[in-house]
């Protein structure tokens, strides 16, 4: 008797599972059919899940900020690579920061599109981490260029922290985006801020002499070896 009840229970569960599977299959076919699917964000036929819509504007603002910093670092690298300045160490430093910021922006674009978003450069996205639109003066001396770069890196670190916090504490959380920002940006930006703050303080101390030209030359030599 018990065996018959068990078989009946298994049969009923199997029928229920088959019915649910058919329902899910029919729902997907209906939603994704060419006659009804138009690509709206409320359709199930996309890669969007969790709280991506709550952090997407901040991520797009951060992409814009990364591209802006990449351009500014490139201008600094060009400035110090001229025959007048001839600072290959500083040129190497800022070229590296420019390349890194550009690569980071590309990685974020891939992350957003992987999650079903679209990066729209025609729409400006503002966030709590957005920086002033006033363009800084990039034709500066060596010490001021380090101060400018340090400020840029702190802004990027703040932007990454803001996205991470938003992904954790939004109405609908997005743990995957929070994990991505923590793994790919937070530690890297902290290291960059630490390195540039050390450079700025070291050079400031070296320049406390009547003629700092030799100190700047030696510091540039040091940067070339990094």
How many whole angstroms separate alpha carbon 169 and alpha carbon 174? Answer: 9
> Following DSSP, what letter does each residue of 130-181 receive, concatenated?
PPP-PPPP----HHHHHHHHHHHHHHHHHHHHHHHHHHHHSSS--HHHHHHH
C-alpha 115, offset from chain centre: 14
Place of tokens 């985006």: 177
153 is in an annotated binding site: yes
Residue 142 is labelled as binding a ligand: no
Report the distance separating Cα 2 and Cα 162, nearest Å. Answer: 60
Q: Binding site membership: which residues?
A: 153, 189
Q: Binding site membership for Fe cation: which residues?
A: 153, 189
């Amino acid at each position: 008797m018990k065996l018959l009840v068990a078989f009946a229970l298994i049969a009923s569960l199997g029928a229920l599972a088959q019915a649910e599977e058919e329902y899910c299959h029919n729902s997907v076919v209906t939603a994704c059919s060419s006659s009804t699917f138009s690509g709206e964000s409320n359709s199930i036929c996309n890669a969007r899940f969790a709280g991506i819509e709550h952090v997407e504007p901040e991520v797009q603002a951060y992409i814009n900020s990364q591209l802006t910093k990449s351009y500014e670092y490139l201008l600094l690298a060009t400035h110090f690579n001229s025959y007048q300045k001839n600072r290959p160490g500083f040129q190497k430093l800022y070229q590296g920061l420019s390349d890194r910021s550009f690569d980071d922006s590309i990685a974020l674009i891939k992350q957003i599109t992987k999650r079903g978003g679209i990066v729209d450069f025609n729409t400006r996205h503002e966030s709590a981490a957005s920086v002033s639109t006033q363009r800084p003066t990039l034709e500066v001396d060596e010490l001021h260029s380090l101060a400018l770069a340090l400020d840029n890196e702190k802004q990027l670190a703040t932007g990454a922290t803001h996205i991470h916090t938003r992904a954790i504490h939004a109405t609908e959380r997005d743990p995957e985006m929070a994990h991505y920002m923590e793994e790919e940006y937070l530690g890297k930006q902290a290291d960059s801020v630490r390195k540039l703050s050390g450079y700025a303080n070291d050079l400031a101390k070296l320049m406390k002499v009547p003629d700092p030209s030799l100190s700047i030359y030696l510091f540039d030599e040091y940067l070339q070896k990094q």
